[in-house]
């Protein structure tokens, strides 16, 4: 090819529109971007929203850098080569307008103010927006954490639109620690909002379903053989699947877990999928705060996610802590999870499927 044989009619788009994945300003999977909190007129159907907050973390911090690491690790994803072989279509080329909405500004020095900021921001994003393809329906969001506590403000906003939502929670830990219990001598109300108690708070606030919530991937140590942690968890309407429930007996075990979850959650019920990367084995997700050996593989996580064809009204991927990551392993797995969640949202959230359901 010589210079003279190039098409003289080529447009600027032909010439400069497509570069390699590693070029350009970084947005999730090269989506169009806006500062959604500053541009309320911007219309889209599915938004990626970063929540760089990690001061409710109990062990290794750093998840405040999670959103930018997940975006960076998503650069090999694009509309052009976005076909999901397992799902049989390209979620980036369907009906949905996808948008990287930027980050919610959150203070790292006061959790009370931070929770107020996040609650206000999610209400702004969810309650005062209309989806591009579905007037009278809000866009749906996948939040990039941040530590796991960022789910609470997201659920608060969703509650006002959909009523209670069923939470499918991938995690090594329960995260339903009873936040009304005193934290010893130095107890204060403000220390009770943590990345291990926010699901308890969500239940106390009436945000989540009474009977349909599910944990997947549990394996962390608990308080004692009286199993109080599990009894309290059960009292809040959770079903539990441990990591061993998933890998022992292989695919039939995963199919049986999926069937139990599907039998539990009524058709059409609004579902939220929250994935803490520590559900995966530390070998596959070293970049996180509270590692627990003996976890799921990304392969199992993807398989399970593809089997969860629910009415997904929101989701998140949390606890990616890039300072502890190696070779972008954790952030890349997290960006794949986002891709799978978007795939489900696009497939099950078509404009012709009625979505609003107050319960």
- φ and ψ of 292, to 5 deg: -135, 120
Q: Which segment (5-13, 63-71, 173-181, 201-209) binds ligand NAG by CB under 6 A?
A: 173-181
> Helix crossing, 250-264 with 298-307: angle to 10°?
40
Find the shortest distance in angstroms from Cβ 202 to ligand NAG. Answer: 14
Give the nearer residue to ligand NAG in terms of CB position, either 23 or 235.
235
Query: Which residue of 78, 130, 178, 297 would you call a contact of ligand NAG, by CB under 6 A?
Result: 178
C-beta of residue 339 within 8 angstroms of C-beta of residue 29: yes
Map residue 103 onto helix, strand or coil: strand
Q: Which residue is nearest to ligand NAG (CB)?
A: 178
Is 175 known to sit in a ligand binding site? yes
Is 233 known to sit in a ligand binding site? no
Torsion sign over Cα 280, 273, 106, 181: negative
Query: Which residue of 23, 235, 249, 359 would you call a contact of ligand NAG, by CB under 6 A?
Result: 235
- Cis amide leading into 356 (omega within 30): no
What does the alpha-carbon distance between residue 209 and residue 231 come to, in Å, rounded to a whole number?
A: 17
Site size for ligand NAG (CB under 6 A): 5
C-beta of residue 346 within 8 angstroms of C-beta of residue 96: yes
What does the alpha-carbon distance between residue 318 and residue 49 come to, in Å, rounded to a whole number?
A: 12
Contact track, ligand NAG, 203-232, x by CB under 6 A = -----------------------------x
Give the nearer residue to ligand NAG in terms of CB position, either 80 or 182.
182
Which residues define the annotated binding site? 148, 171, 173, 175, 276, 278
Which residues define the annotated binding site for Mn(2+)? 148, 171, 173, 175, 276, 278
Q: Point out which residues bind ligand NAG (CB under 6 A).
A: 178, 180-181, 232, 235
């Amino acid at each position: 090819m010589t210079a003279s044989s190039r098409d003289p009619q080529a447009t600027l788009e032909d010439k400069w529109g497509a570069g390699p994945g590693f070029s350009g300003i970084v947005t999730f999977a090269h989506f169009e971007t806006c500062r959604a909190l500053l541009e309320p007129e911007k219309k889209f159907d599915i938004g990626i929203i970063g929540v760089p907050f990690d001061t409710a973390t109990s062990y290794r911090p750093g998840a405040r850098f999670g959103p930018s690491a997940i975006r960076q690790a998503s650069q090999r994803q694009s509309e052009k080569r976005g076909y999901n072989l397992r799902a049989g279509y390209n979620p980036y080329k369907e009906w949905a307008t996808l948008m990287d909405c930027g980050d919610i500004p959150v203070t790292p020095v006061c959790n009370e103010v931070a929770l107020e900021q996040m609650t206000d921001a999610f209400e702004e994003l969810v309650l005062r927006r209309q989806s591009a393809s579905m007037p009278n329906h809000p866009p749906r969001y996948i939040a990039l954490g941040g530590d796991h506590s960022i789910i609470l403000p997201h659920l608060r906003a969703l509650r006002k639109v959909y009523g209670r939502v069923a939470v499918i929670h991938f995690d090594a830990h329960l995260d339903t620690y009873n936040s009304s219990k005193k934290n010893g001598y130095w107890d204060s109300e403000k220390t009770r909002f943590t990345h291990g108690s926010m699901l308890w708070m969500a239940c106390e606030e009436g945000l989540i379903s009474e009977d349909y919530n599910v944990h997947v991937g549990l394996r962390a140590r608990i308080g004692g053989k009286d199993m109080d942690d599990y009894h309290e968890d059960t009292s809040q309407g959770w079903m539990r699947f441990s990591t061993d429930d998933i890998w022992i007996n292989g695919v039939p075990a995963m199919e049986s877990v999926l069937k139990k979850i599907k039998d539990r959650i009524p058709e059409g019920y609004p579902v939220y999928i929250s994935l803490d990367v520590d559900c995966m084995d530390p070998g596959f997700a070293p970049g996180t705060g509270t590692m627990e050996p003996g976890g799921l593989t990304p392969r199992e996580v993807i398989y399970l996610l593809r089997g969860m064809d629910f009415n997904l009204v929101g989701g998140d991927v949390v606890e990616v802590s890039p300072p502890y990551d190696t070779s972008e392993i954790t952030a890349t797995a997290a960006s794949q999870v986002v891709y799978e969640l978007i795939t489900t949202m696009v497939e099950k959230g078509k404009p012709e499927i009625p979505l609003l359901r107050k319960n």
